[in-house]
A = this chain, B = another copy of it.
Amino acid sequence: MDTLGGLKRTHYCGSLREANIGEDVVLMGWVQRKRNLGGLIFVDLRDRDGITQIVFDTDISPEAFNKAEKLGSEYVIAVMGKVYERESKNPNMPTGDIEVFAQEIRVLNSAQTPPIYIKDDDDVSEALRLKYRYLDLRKPSMQRNFILRHKVAGIVRNYLSENGFLEIETPVLGKPTPEGARDYLVPSRVNTGKFYALPQSPQLFKQLLMVAGMDRYFQIVKCFRDEDLRADRQPEFTQIDCEMSFVEAEDIMGIMEAMMQKIFKEALGVDIGIPFRRITHKEAMERYGSDKPDLRFGYELTDISDAVKDCGFKVFADAVKGGGSVRGLNISGRAEDFTRKGITKLEDYVKTYGAKGLAWIKWGAEGINSPVAKFLSEDEMKSVLQAMNAKEGDILFFVADKNSVVYNSLGQLRCEIAKNLGLLSKEVYEFAWVTEFPLFEYDEEAGRLVAVHHPFTSPMDEDFDKIETDPGSMRAKAYDMVLNGFELGGGSIRIFQEELQKKMFKLLGFTEEDAQDKFGFFIDAFKYGTPPHGGIAFGLDRIIMLLAGEDNIRQVIAFPKTQNASCPLTEAPSYAEDAQLEELGIKIEIKE
């Protein structure tokens, strides 16, 4: 006797319809719910596909009825029976028109009472959900997320294949890299004392594949960063990683926005227009205070530095004189939505982004209300209101500081306000490409330039002559795809000339020896005929999160890690055996 007792499943639990009435079927799945009613037993049988109502009737099979009486929640059963039309149809269920009267039942496995309910609205703690992830994943909403993820990966792969990309696997056991985030290290047993590193991205390998003439490469690939975790970060995450030869930035953007269009159409049935809006980095910062602007609403930043540079409010005037700026948001027509208490909260909010304070002017029916009014002459107030294009009913918020703080705090504030006002519809998708990023930024701690993207990004041709005189002002052939305030992916045209790549490393503070030691193999490759090339990498987890309408990437990762990089289910990481550490030539030595 086989495990399934000779039965073979004929249908999934979500598939039976009126057309199947009269058929003999075999279903297998989990007992979602059981109830006795009028001498009959009703069981909602659940599998990945849906739920079917099974009816046990002593008139049909006393034996099956008796077995059904003993069923509990989450028992695994196989049922053979006939499909009937339901007397009281359930229009809320795809299978609501039918029910299956059981002739035979096999109890394939029993179940203890599960520690979490298998239903979408169970609001148990995430810790418990992750510990019993195999139960949590039974929830229909979670199953939908993984079906969606599977589908999107398939759309991506087929689209890229059709466009000439080859999926080529690059090594997981790689070489530690000196730039970027912290590597996960893997001690080598054969080469004791040495370490592999898990890839932060396949950047060097994909560029080498272009040197190798592979022309178009992609990979849906796990990447790793040993960084302290934030809500939407995981130690391991999945990238859609792409690289192309003989292309300009516009070619890559064109192919990739069309891919996104296809994903949204095929996975969600949503039409998104292409080409996406192009916004330069400078414009994104000035209008939205962010390099990943949420374009679902307005409330753009306005620079009022000119209007206030000589005004009586010292905070404003000093910021401008010190080389910073004063900028404001006009939350037009919504003055009445902001209470004093609400404004205090917003003030606290911007402080977490480095602002020293939040000035505001509320223009209500009773006139101007503002804590800064007393510092401004009537004319000064007037010119501020004019600069902000304000009218009665508006409320204005201002930050005065150095530019980076002004952008960041106001950029975050406009999103926070939009959220509070309920303007962030998950069904609106506002895409854009942000372009012309700076090539470098100055790292005050390190006292040197660092790459905004990475050291392999090509400068813009127009800025090339600044490389000796003013490298800090150079712009990169780099582009980020953004959606609703999230960065979905970013990429660049790469440096492909040996001399330029060497110069880049020098500008980034590498000595010649150091560059040769860390990246010698890579620079060497440039000697033997490297084609112009560029690429992009997308964060798959985040894309799926947004497609699924989830707020958290752990909802779309089957077995995620917690904030402290551990797995509540398997209890990884765990202790290793001494003998194995000895083989690896390492010893635990924890310094306080």
| A215 on the B face (CB < 8 A) | yes
Q: Is A68 an interface residue (CB 8 A)?
A: no
Contact A529 B76 (CB under 8 A): yes
A153 on the B face (CB < 8 A): yes
User: 1/0 per residue A168-205: CB within 8 Å of B?
Assistant: 11111111100000111111111111111110000011
Pairwise interchain contact A146-B166, C-beta atoms closer than 8 A? yes
Which of chain B's residues have a CB closer than 8 A to the CB of A195? 573-576
Report the separation of the CA atoms of residues A195 and B582 in the bound assembly, to the nearest whole angstrom. 14
Q: CA A30 – CA B245 in complex, angstroms? A: 12
Determine the chain B residues whose CB is within 8 A of the CB of A175 once the complex forms: 567, 570-574
Question: How far does the alpha carbon of A149 sit from the alpha carbon of B167 in the complex, in Å?
Answer: 8
Bound together, the chains give a CA A198 to CA B205 distance in angstroms of 21
| Contact A558–B209 (Cβ < 8 Å) | yes
Whether A95 sits at the interface, judged by CB under 8 Å, is no
Contact across chains for B585 and A586 when beta carbons are under 8 A apart: no
Instruction: Say yes or no: B185 contacts A235, CB within 8 Å.
Output: no
A137-B212, A236-B172, A559-B205 known; A529 vs B193 contact (CB < 8 Å): no
Please tell me if the beta carbons of B147 and A172 are within 8 angstroms of each other in the complex. no
Is A587 in the interface zone, CB < 8 Å from B?
yes
Given contacts A213-B138, A496-B109, contact A573 B521 (CB under 8 A): no
Closest Cβ of chain B to A412, distance in Å, is 27
Q: Is A445 an interface residue (CB 8 A)?
A: no
The answer to whether B30 touches A173 (Cβ under 8 A) is: no
Asked whether any CB of chain B lies closer than 8 Å to the CB of A74, the reply is yes
Residues of B within 8 Å of A30, CB to CB, are 213, 529, 531
> Nearest chain B CB to A591's CB is how many angstroms away?
6
CB A14 to nearest CB in B, in angstroms, measures 11
- B75:A529 contact, CB within 8 angstroms: yes
Q: Which of chain A's residues 536-560 have a Cβ closer than 8 Å to chain B?
A: 557-559
Contact A111 B166 (CB under 8 A): no
**B171–A186 contact, CB under 8 A?**
no
Chain B residues with Cβ below 8 Å from A48 are: 213-215
Task: Please tell me if the beta carbons of B182 and A184 are within 8 angstroms of each other in the complex.
Answer: no
Our pick among B29, B211, B497 for the contact of A134 (Cβ within 8 Å) is B211
Q: How far is the CA of A170 from the CA of B158 in the complex (A)?
A: 22
Please tell me if A222 contacts chain B, counting CB pairs below 8 Å.
Answer: yes
A–B pairs, 19, beta carbons within 8 Å: A8-B251, A28-B531, A48-B215, A132-B528, A134-B212, A134-B525, A136-B212, A153-B167, A157-B157, A172-B236, A176-B580, A188-B566, A190-B228, A191-B565, A192-B590, A193-B590, A194-B573, A205-B558, A222-B222
Closest A-B pairs by Cβ, 3 of them: A111-B529, A137-B212, A175-B572
A residues lining the B interface (CB < 8 Å)? 1-4, 8-9, 12, 28-30, 46-49, 74-76, 78, 108-112, 114, 132-138, 143, 146-147, 149-150, 153-154, 157-158, 161, 166-176, 182-198, 204-205, 208-209, 211-215, 222, 224, 226, 228, 235-236, 238, 245-248, 251, 458, 461, 493, 496-497, 521, 525, 527-532, 557-559, 561, 564-567, 569-577, 580-591
Q: 7 other contacts beyond A109-B531, A209-B558, with CB at 8 A cut-off?
A: A28-B246, A76-B531, A136-B212, A137-B209, A174-B572, A176-B577, A205-B558
